[in-house]
Structure 1
Amino acid sequence: MLKKTFVLVLGALILVTSCKNKSEKENEETWRTKKEAVANETHNQLLEVEKEQGWELLFDGETLNGWHVYNNPDGESVWEVKNGELHSVADDESLTAGDLLTDKPYENYELTLEWKIASRGNSGIFMNVQEREDVPTAWQTGPEYQILDADHMDINVAEKNPGCLYVFQSQANPAEMKRGEWNRTRIKQVDGKVEFYLNGVLTAEQDFNSPEWKQQIAATHFEKYPEFGKATEGKIALQYWYFETWFRDIKIREL
């Protein structure tokens, strides 16, 4: 009887030890995989599968190639490349302030990027921008994907929350902006129908060809700007608004 009991106890100890070692091994492998992933994190690069899907880099992480300041392509601007990030300088008044936009216009496309913003900051992504000498700023033609810090005074205005179609809609679904961290934006436009996403959540939908869109414009201060929201093709612009912003991993594919 004692021999049988000893065998049972020994078997249980072996089983417990085996399970513990297995669990520790699994945890170690999971930890190592995550650690290696973080250590080998890369930005401003395309995966092979992204290349196959037709994605292109809009920002190479080293230069401002493919971008220029609205109506001022040769000025020494507030925009710089620093640590592989597209950064707007907020403390040097000698630099040319202005929105940074693509050299090339786009119509049907999917755009993804990551951004973060300084405390109390305000910025945005304009689409369908018409760069013209008689139009002083990008926002007078291009509807805006809103970027806003949680400490900004407008954060309590529903139509000005991050991920919104600025002024026109509150968030279609609740989406949280990660304060002081990188946030992910996705914008898709096909035949004038646009979708906005913030950190994977759909935050806005609009048809820029619809009669309702024209009515919405007429009900806002944008009514004073005759070219606003008319185009469904144009350049993409990053807004500069006196606070630091950072952008990276800017990718686009035409649809």
Structure 2
Amino acid sequence: MRTKFSLLFFSLLSMMSCKQENKKEEPQAWRTKKMALANETHNQLLEVEKEQGWELLFDGKTLNGWHLYNNPDADSVWEVVNGEIHSDANDESLMAGDLLTDNAYENYELTLEWKIASRGNSGIFLNVQEKPDIPTAWQTGPEYQILDSEHMDYKLPAKRPGCLYVFAPQENAVEMKSGEWNSTRIKQVDGKVEFYLNGVLTGEQDFNDPEWKKMIAATHFVNYPEFGKATQGKIALQYWYFETWFRDIKIRKL
């Protein structure tokens, strides 16, 4: 009897020990994930990215390398808050306008993350020609559309996020993440552009194709002589009366 009792006792003791070990593993895994999220880094380049030729377009602290379109010295709506470029839509004393890179780019790959307020509208303009006689960036630069899912235009095919605004619907269907960070990748080589939203190809266009001129002629952009003509230029973040946030803005020349 003692032998059976001893075996039963040690068996129960072993089971209890295993349960305790399992209980210990779960908190450890939880802490590891929590620590990873807590130590998440932004606006930095990995060593492998540096080797691949990536550069930061936003240092996470200042707006160095950026300026307000046609008004570089203005006290504008754009600011840096918590390592993010933010558009302040609440202070009407600030100068409104699009935020533009100091430098122009031709063949490149651009990546960034963005978040937008409910019902908000924004975009990324490419090949912008900054001239005193052209009032806004969108009068020259085609747009990668940024739009919140609560915006009234969200269901319009040619105005969905990730689209080449007004010209074509998403090439592959994908949703933006409302209230969360979304990822954008834009690639342009010899005037051929590719748009990606959250890892999905959403648009393609060749700005050198004669068909592109016909596409422009079929829209209101036909009223703006410089629109869509260039295959190099500055990159702009659109301001359109709603708060937007941008981070991890990186570019490499191709």
Return the TM-score normalized by structure 1: 0.91
Q: Distance between the aligned counterparts of 1:232 and 1:180, measured in 2?
A: 33
Taking the TM superposition and a 5 Å limit, the aligned residue runs for 1:135-174 are 135-174=134-173
Corresponding residue of 2:30: 31
User: In the alignment, is residue 248 of structure 1 matched against residue 241 of structure 2?
Assistant: no
Q: Deviations over 1:5-39 (max 9, x none)?
A: 99998898788668756755654453233112101
Evaluate the alpha carbon distance shift between residue 4 and residue 145 of structure 1 in structure 2; reply closer, same or farther with a 3 A threshold: farther
Using the alignment, how far apart are the partners of 1:189 and 1:13 within structure 2?
Answer: 66
What SS does the aligned partner of 1:115 have?
A: strand
Would the alpha carbon gap of residues 14 and 85 (structure 1) be closer, same or farther in structure 2, given more than 3 Å must change? same
Query: Which SS does the other structure have where 2:153 is aligned?
Result: helix
Corresponding letter in the other structure for 2:237: L
Over 3 Å counting, the alpha-carbon distance change for 1:247 and 1:6 in structure 2 is same
Unaligned ranges ≥5, structure 1: none
| 1:100-249 map, 5 Å | 100-249=99-248
What's 1:41 paired with?
A: 40
- In structure 2, distance between residues paired with 1:164 and 1:125: 11
Alignment match, 1:85: 84
Gaps of 5+ in 2: none
Task: Name whichever of 21-30 and 241-250 sits farther off.
Answer: 21-30
Q: Following superposition, which runs of at least 4 residues in structure 1 exceed 6 angstroms of deviation?
A: 2-19
Q: CA RMSD in A?
A: 2.1
Shift of 1:96: 0.9
Deviation, 1:85, is: 0.9
TM-score w.r.t. structure 2 length? 0.92
Percent identical: 76
Q: Secondary structure at the match of 1:98?
A: coil
The 1:18/1:190 distance shift into structure 2, 3 A limit, reads: farther
Opposite residue 194 of structure 2, the aligned amino acid is E
Return the alpha-carbon distance in structure 1 between the equivalents of residues 2 and 206 of structure 2: 80
The worse-fitting range, judged by mean Cα deviation, of 70-79 and 41-50 is: 41-50
Write the distance in 1 (CA, Å) between the matches of 2:68 and 2:111: 21
- For residue 233 of structure 1, report the CA deviation from its aligned partner: 0.5
Q: More displaced, 86-95 or 235-244? A: 86-95
- One-letter amino acid matched to 2:155: N
Q: Distance in 2 between matches of 1:187 and 1:21?
A: 50
